[in-house]
Structure 1
Amino acid sequence: MRSALLLPALLLLAPPTRGEGIADQLKWNFQARTRAESRNNTFDFNSAKNSVTDDTFVLARVRLGVEWQPDEWVRIALQGQDTREAFSKRPNVPLQNGAEGDDSFDLRLASIEIGKPTGLSVKAGRQVLMYGDERLVGPLEWQNFSRTFDAVKLHYQAQTWWLDAFTSSVVRIRRSQFNVSDWINNSASRNQFFSGLYFSSKAIPFQTTDLYAFHLHEENTAGTSNFVTFGTRHKGDPTKLRGWDYTVELVGQVGQLSGKSLTAYAYHLEGGYNWLKSPWKPRLAIEYSAGSGDSNPNDGHAHTFQNLFPTNHPPYGFMDLFSWQNMQNLALRLAANPTPKTKTTLDFHSFWLTTTGDAWYRANGTTTVRPISPNANSHAGCELDLTVSTKLTPHLDLLLGYSHFFAGAYLAATGPSDDADFGYCMLTLNY
């Protein structure tokens, strides 16, 4: 989007607020994040093979940004980002063999917002889009380079509700080149445009009620995709429900996917209890998620739910083995805060394929684990996730985690079926 490239000029042209210099109005932000990861069998479930993805490596990310509000009605944001992957056997090319790769200092954010934050405003430029629990649209912050969009977004804020209307194109990571979306890449073959309406209300005092509709247009060698994702999300507030909470999200899709007619669905059901008066503030919850699959890929109709642009890392296991499509996930979650600055979580997931006539899709929604095996058992396996996060100083956070995947009958029926392990340690410095 051309406006993303013109914003540095706007920093010089916008008039300063009376009585203040530009230097007094600038708010700088800085983040340095380092994560060491160790993975074994997370891609091939085969202990007999020393894959390039069975490795220990380090991921580093640095962000430097500035926000400027020269007037109550004008807000400008710029942020650059540099990401690196070190000590890895994988190619340092983003997304190859699951790699985070190297992406030298590039433009992550560049936006101007005009309007009243408590009323009507419009935001244009490179920005983050995130809605609800990010099961469909989110920045995927776990990923080293994360996700942004070149977008124009109209926002209206009322006392008990708000509404967003946007049109956008996702920014593609290009190693050693300026990262661009299809809006500013005239040679792009995808011609991708992602638009939506998102409405959120607190008219019901004890819950947040969301309604949304997203439209995706994209062209590729398989054909043109044009489909609408519509849904609703209802999230209970434990402080108003005597410790109880719940989430219900129901989603449908209709349209065209790569030349086929598309009808698909997904849903998420969750209920939990919070011991609000306990010093450790424990929470125990059970949840069930499902996304439709396509049992007959040759009939000219598509039924695999399309996960759009989600943050899949937290909801379906920290090993990132599943997306919200052709899957069923039963999960039990326990969380507690042993100290005011420390949080621990223990999650147990059990996964099935909705239909073995379709593939097992990883968190990116495109990479598959095994070739389609219609006669295999549908149980993919179980995952145990343990995390500990703590604030070491006001600006420094530490996250430790370990995950183990217990291979299920589906893997045993389709090839190597060894268990997988994933461990990590992450330090994040924020100013």
Structure 2
Amino acid sequence: MKQALVIPLLAAASAGLSLAGEPAAKNPKAVVIPPPEPKIVTFDFQERLRFEYRENNFDFNDGVNSLTDDSWLLQRARVGIKVSPTDYLSFYVQGQSSLELDSDRPNEPGVMGAEGDDAIDLRQAYIKIGPKDLNITIGRQILSYGDERLIGAFDWNNLSRTFDAVKFHYGTKDWSIEAFAASVVVADSDTFNYSDLFDGNETGRNQVFSGIYFSTAALCPLGSTTDFYALHLHEEYLAGDTNFVTLGTRLKADVTKTGGWDFETEMAAQFGEVKDKDLSAFAGHWGFGYVWTKSAWKPRLFAEYNFATGDSNAADGDVDTFQNLFPTNHKFYGYMDAFAWQNIHNPAISFSVQPTKTVKLQLDYHAFFLADTSDAWYRANGVTAVRPIKGSASDFVGTELDFTASWKATKNLSFLAGYSHFFCGDYAKATGAADDADFAYVQATFDF
């Protein structure tokens, strides 16, 4: 009897009928929520405050109370507006105000390491034409490539760096290519910031910086990013013209795809002319480590070596010093900014942990040697020499210990604190005073 009843029920269900003989109700379709309409006008705002304390960072001399042996407050505010009337057209303008408060350093940016005052200026102003995968950007903008060892925004600096540029971008799922022609914007505390492109900064260099940068994730089976680039710099000086090419490559691991193994390298060669002298130079970075991705604190241990050629003879008509271009050196060669990717041997080791998702603690240890004592010890700006050249001195400059702590308190508020100590080595002792140096800071950033 039960079997006789079940068979008709199954038949009715397969025919789409209810037990009452009516058509079975079909499942209602899922409600489709359309994506939100893109905003035509958007705003962004950033306020950053950083208190710094520095002792002997520039002269390494306890016996002199330098203007740079002091503490001060760096304040920076940015306001931007973006107008996007269509998916293929957008305009962006960003103003910036940067101040160095309660400081005895000169008010002009770059003098004695000062970041200076630039109360109101234009940081970015560009038009972008085309879709996401094929577009051109024209105007004042940020150029940032790779890890920023050669081209970066240098955002640690209160003024940071932008370019007046034209940039073309084409990208697919697996690779992208960009080509640009640019001139760096020069900060001036008294007037509007100009680049050489508009001859407003009175440098007279007629600087044109151009390049092609290719990046892909498809070449390496370990899921890393591989980059290739060709860069050219043209500048004019009374001592002669500068025209040289930088050819380089970069490889960087994605630790989420390598089982925690962390590796990276970047190498670049340069040839051409610097102020009418023949240039031939090389720089390299090699690093290897491991991230315990399954551990709660995600410990990371990383060892690296940085090298860049120096010049063995300033009078022979050749230049062998690697030209560091427009980098963000603060991230790489010690947080006291006493070194650039020039004339350097720099082995280093780093260890970091993340006690929570929003907190990171890191300890870095650097050793510094000059690649050639017949060349200068260059600061992070790649221009200023720390000490007079002494070819007979030891190449060991010193070591630096950096501790940093970062905390992402909320979506919009983050904090950064750090302490660095420099231990002077034999080269520093042979070329002047050699007292240890200290650097401490606390920074708060609000982004909206």
Q: TM-score w.r.t. structure 1 length?
A: 0.93
Among 191, 198, 201, which residue is 2:206 paired with? 191
Q: Is 1:262 aligned to residue 279 of structure 2?
A: yes
* Deviation for aligned residue 1:220: 2.0
The equivalent of 1:135 in structure 2 is: 149
- Amino acid aligned to 1:41: N
For 2:432 and 2:196, locate their aligned partners in 1 and report how far apart those are by CA, in whole Å.
Answer: 39
| Pair 1:354–1:188, CA change in 2 (3 A) | closer
For 1:289 and 1:184, locate their aligned partners in 2 and report how far apart those are by CA, in whole Å. 36
Aligned residue in 1 for 2:112: 97
CA contact (8 A) 1:228 1:253 kept: yes
Q: Following the alignment from structure 1 to structure 2, what is the Cα–Cα distance between the partners of residues 248 and 256?
A: 26
Output the amino acid matched with 1:313: H
> In 1, Cα distance between the equivalents of 2:306 and 2:235?
27
Q: Which residue does 1:247 correspond to in 2?
A: 264
Say whether 1:279 aligns with 2:296: yes
Partner deviation per Cα, 1:69-123 (whole Å, 9 max, x = no partner): 11010121110000000111111211111100000211101011111112x1100
Which consecutive aligned stretches of 4+ in structure 1 deviate over 6 angstroms post-superposition? none
Q: Is 2:336 the counterpart of 1:353?
A: no
Describe how 1:166-177 pairs up with structure 2 within 5 A. Answer: 166-177=180-191
SS in 1 for 2:256: helix
Which moved further from structure 2: 212-221 or 162-171? 212-221
Equivalent residue of 2:227, what SS? Answer: strand
- Distance in 2 (CA, whole Å) between partners of 1:108 and 1:21 is 29
User: 1:188 deviation in Å?
Assistant: 4.4
What is the rounded CA distance, in whole Å, between the counterparts of 2:48 and 2:258 in structure 1? 37
- The alpha-carbon deviation at position 335 of structure 1 amounts to 1.1
In structure 2, the partner of 1:125 is 139
Q: Deviations over 1:240-263 (max 9, x none)?
A: 111001111111000000110000
Partner residue in 1 for 2:40: 25
| Kept after mapping to 2: 8 A contact 1:294/1:357 | yes
Partner of 1:37: 52
Partners of 1:399 and 1:426 within 8 A in 2: yes
Match of 1:221 in 2: 238
In the alignment, the residues of structure 1 paired with residue 413 and residue 251 of structure 2 have an alpha-carbon distance, to the nearest angstrom, of 34
Inter-partner Cα distance in structure 1 for 2:355 and 2:402: 18
DSSP 3-state at the match of 1:126: strand
Q: RMSD of the alignment, in Å?
A: 1.3
1:27 & 1:279 partners in 2: Cα distance? 38
Map 1:409-420 onto structure 2 (within 5 A): 409-420=426-437
2:196 counterpart SS class: coil
User: How far does residue 236 in structure 1 lie from its aligned partner after superposition?
Assistant: 1.5
Confirm or deny: 8 A CA contact 1:293 1:358 kept in the other structure: yes
- Runs of 5+ in structure 2 lacking a partner? 1-35
Contact 1:104/1:176 (CA < 8 Å) preserved in 2?
no
Q: Deviations over 1:343-364 (max 9, x none)?
A: 1110000000000000000000
Give the whole-Å Cα distance in 1 for the aligned partners of 2:180 and 2:312: 34
- Matching of residue 327 in structure 1 with residue 344 in structure 2: yes
- What do residues 388-408 of structure 1 show as CA deviations (whole Å, max 9, x unaligned)? 010222211110000000001
User: 1:161 matched to which residue of 2?
Assistant: 175
5+ residue gaps in structure 1?
1-19
SS in 1 for 2:428: helix
Indicate conservation of the 8 Å contact 2:199/2:206, yes or no. Answer: no
Measured against aligned partners, the alpha-carbon deviations of 1:395-422 in whole angstroms (never above 9, x if no partner) come to 1111000000000110111110000000
Q: Is 1:151 aligned to residue 168 of structure 2?
A: no
CA distance in 2, matches of 1:345, 1:168: 35
Q: Which moved more, 1:231-240 or 1:53-62?
A: 231-240
CA displacement at 1:222 relative to structure 2: 2.6
Per the alignment, residue 121 of structure 2 pairs with 106
Determine helix, strand or coil for the equivalent of 1:410: helix
Partner of 1:12: none
Does 2:383 correspond to 1:369?
no
Cα distance in 2 for partners of 1:235, 1:110 equals 32
Instruction: Select the structure of larger CA radius of gyration.
Output: 2
Structure 2 CA distance for aligned equivalents of residues 298 and 185 of structure 1 = 32
Helix, strand or coil at the partner of 2:112 = helix
Q: Superposed, which structure 2 residues align to 1:29-68 within 5 Å? A: 29-68=44-83
- 1:244-285 residue CA offsets vs partner (Å, 9 max, x unmatched): 011111110000001100000000000010000111111100
| Contact persistence 1:200–1:211 (CA under 8 A) | yes
CA distance in 2, matches of 1:275, 1:196: 37
The TM-score, its normalising length taken from structure 2, stands at 0.90
Question: In the alignment, what sits opposite 2:445?
Answer: 428
Give the letter for the 1:240 counterpart: K
Secondary structure of 1:254's aligned partner: strand
Give yes or no for the alignment of 1:311 onto 2:325. no
Q: Secondary structure at the match of 2:430?
A: helix
Q: Distance in 1 between matches of 2:349 and 2:217?
A: 28
How many residues get paired?
410
Matched, 1:387 2:404: yes
8 Å Cα contact 1:292/1:305 also seen in 2: yes
- By how many angstroms is 1:21 displaced? 11
Alpha-carbon contact 1:388-1:399 (below 8 Å) kept: yes
Q: How far off is 1:330 after superposition?
A: 0.4
Say whether 1:69 aligns with 2:60.
Answer: no
Tell me the secondary structure at the aligned position of residue 264 of structure 2.
Answer: strand
**2:306 matched residue in structure 1:** 289
Q: Which residue of 2 aligns with 1:16?
A: none
State the Cα deviation string for residues 146-172 of structure 1 (Å, max 9, x = none).
000000000001120000000000000
